[in-house]
Structures are given as C-alpha cells and as structure tokens.
Amino acid sequence: MTLTGRGIPHGTTQRTTIRDVAEQAGVSVATVSKVLNNRYGVSASTAERVQQVIDSLGYEASLVARSLRNQRTNVIGILVADLEPFSTELLKGASRAIHGKGYELLVYSAGGLTQDHVGWERRYLSRLAGTLVDGAILVTPTVVDTPSEVPYVAVDPHTGRPGPPTVDSDNLNGARLAVEHLISLGHRRIGMICGRADLESARLREEGYRLALESSGIDVVPDLITLGGYDPGLAEGASRQLLGMADRPTAIFAANDLMALETLAVANELGIRVPEDLSLVGFDNVPDAVMAEPSLTTINQPIQEMGRLSIEILLQLMAGEEPDELHVTLPTQLVVRQSTGPANGR
C-alpha cells in the first residue's frame, strides 16, 4: 500500500528513516546506527558527514523500532484508567521525582473505557512491558497478581500483599475522620456514595463510614449507602437517589471529591443549600475541591507524594535492589472547608 491511499493532511510527509540518512550520506545503515549511538568504529570524517545529513534531515530514530531491538528503553510507563484529578496529581509528583534520573515518562491512558473491561491494567502492562517501558506504575489497578516482564508498583490497588509493591493512603482512618466530623456537627442521618467496588480503597472508605457510625451508636441504614463507582456520572444518580428521599440525609460522605462535587451540583439544582441544608464531605483533596463554591470539606491524601514514592520504589526495583518498604500507606487528614456545617435540627 502506498501513501497515496490515505488523505495526507496538512503538511504531512513520509517518515525519514535510517535508510534515507544512509543513502544520502553514502554509507550503510549500520554506520549511521553507530554514529547515532556513539559507537566506536567510525572514522571521524565519516561520522561528521553522517551527522550532517542527520541534522539536515532532522532525523530522529523511531522510538518504536529502537525499543523493539533494545531491551532497555529508559522509559518508565505510568498506566492510568483515565486522566482525572487524582491521576494527574499523581503525575505531577512522579514527574518531579523523575527529574534528573535519566528516564522519560510515558503515560498511557485507557481513555476511560475501563469500566467494562476489568483487568485493563494487566493487558496494558503486557502491551508495553518488555518492549516499550523498563518499568511501570499502575494507578488504581483492579488486578495485580500478574507476573510481569518488568518491575512495577501499584498505587491504590485492588488488594495488597502479596503482589507487587504498593503505595496507598490510610483510607480507613480517613473515612472515619470524615464521618466523625459530620457526627460531631450533630448529623445522624448520613448518606454515603461509595467508590468502585473492585478497589480496596473503596471498600476501606465504606468500612470507615460504618465504623464511625457504629462507634457513635448510630445505626447503619442500608438505603443511605449508594454506589457511585468513583464516577461522576454514576454519582449523579446516586445523589439524586439520596436527595430525593422523603427523609433525606442531612449529610453525605462521598468516597471521592469528584463524586462530592457532582453531589454539590445536584443539590444546587434541587435547591438544597450546602452547607445549610446539606453537609458534604469528599475524599482526596484534589485541587478542584478548593475551587468549588462552597469549597469542599474533604480528606487529604498526599497524592503527589504518592507519585514521588512510587517512582522511588520503582527505581529501586529496576536497579535490582530490594525496596526499603514494600507496602507504604501514607496518612490522611481531615480538611475542613465550607461544605460542612451543623445539622440544624431537621
């Protein structure tokens, strides 16, 4: 098939390959390769001539072809289900940690089509591992028991030990703090919007909710516990369900900020004032939580730090060292903002 077949858009040209360089320099591709990689065995004059052609053509070796040949690529992969506030915060931390280490970062996003396909991370990992990346960080993977061709670290995984090294935060205690905060404000009817059933973090946040209620002697009402899947779309339905109840809750704890913000939007739409009529607590403390109106009370998770740590552990793994810690859990804190207030006797 020739290029003529496809519509060639806007300044698109044929790829320049090592062969083009070789021909134009009047040498073999092997020689060009040697120049490219600073290998010995090329005379200075030849090297210079080849280099000139390379420069004039603006040639750059294809990452793909090179990766296929070499076992090392100097690229670290970060596999995410989607580029949302949590994962992008993590990226910032990872990026800072990688500076000066001589690695490049390759973020691969499933483009949000992971809801149906459990195990995306395993498939993505095998797609990239061994050929494109030397190591990887899996963000919120649902399956991590797979052996892999490269070392990897799981952030906020489905389940902990045994398996690869993991980094997460204290979800149980965080959720507890959130709900205790609501209780201390006088709330008794507290709804919950849960996270993705396949993630350990979601399970722990729900457990924290239950524990907080129980230790205050408040009954856990099944109807007040809804499914949000960490997904704004699902959370919308869940919040409508909660807020549409005859005896609706005076407070809601959402398992992440995105869902809490969605709940806020629904409340606004229904004319329910936050925090006067409804108190709202999220989880994560993503930047968007602060930008909301009113700003969101939430549980802080040191997301960037989690990114930094993951890289650190991964680099140790890749160096063949045993990491200092295999499973790190970072602390969480309550951040009180404007979305929570006293229960006003409803």
Whether the Cβ atoms of residue 153 and residue 164 lie closer than 8 Å to each other: yes
Our CB check for DNA shows the closer of 31 and 226 to be 31
Q: Left, alpha or beta for 151 (phi > 0: left; psi -120 to 50: alpha)?
A: beta
- Distance (Å, whole) CA 90 – CA 139: 9
For position 312 contacting a second copy by CB under 8 A, the verdict is no
Q: Interface with DNA by CB under 7 A: which range of 19-27, 133-141, 153-161, 224-232? A: 19-27
Among residues 129 and 255, whose Cβ is nearest to a second copy? Answer: 129
| Residue 275 · residue 294 · CB < 8 Å | yes
Our measurement of the distance from residue 182's CA atom to the centroid of its chain's CA atoms, rounded to an integer in Å, reads 28
Residues numbered 58 to 77 that lie near DNA (CB under 7 A) are 61-62, 65-66, 68-70
Which of DNA, a second copy, none binds 270 (CB below 5-8 Å, type-dependent)?
A: none
Q: Which of 245, 290, 342, 344 binds a second copy (CB under 8 A)?
A: 290
CB contact burial 272-306 (16+ within 10 A = b; e otherwise)? bebbebbbbbbbbbbebbeebeeebbbbbbbbbbb
Cβ-contact 73, 99 below 8 angstroms: no
CB of 58 to a second copy, least distance (A): 6
Q: Does 211 bind DNA (CB under 7 A)?
A: no
Binding mask 119-138 toward a second copy (x if CB under 8 A, else -) reads ---xxx-xxxxxxx------
Q: Provide Rg for the chain, Cα atoms.
A: 26
Per rule CB under 7 A, is residue 9 in the interface with DNA?
Answer: no
> Does 22 engage in binding with a second copy (CB under 8 A)?
no
Among 46, 51, 109, 241, binds a second copy (CB under 8 A): 109
Query: In angstroms, how far is the first alpha carbon of the chain from the final one?
Result: 72
| C-alpha span between 292 and 107 (Å, rounded) | 28
Residue nearer to a second copy on the CB measure, 316 or 329: 316
**Minimum distance from CB of 221 to a second copy (Å)?**
35
Considering only the stretches 24-32, 110-118, 180-188, 273-281, report the one whose residues sit in contact with DNA under the rule CB under 7 A: 24-32
CB of 125 to DNA, least distance (A): 13
When CB distances are held under 5 to 8 angstroms depending on the partner's kind, the choice from DNA, a second copy, none that residue 211 binds is none
Q: Which two tokens stand for residue 314?
A: 């991964």
Number of residues that bind a second copy (CB under 8 A): 75
What is d(CA 314, CA 254) in angstroms, rounded to the nearest whole number? 31
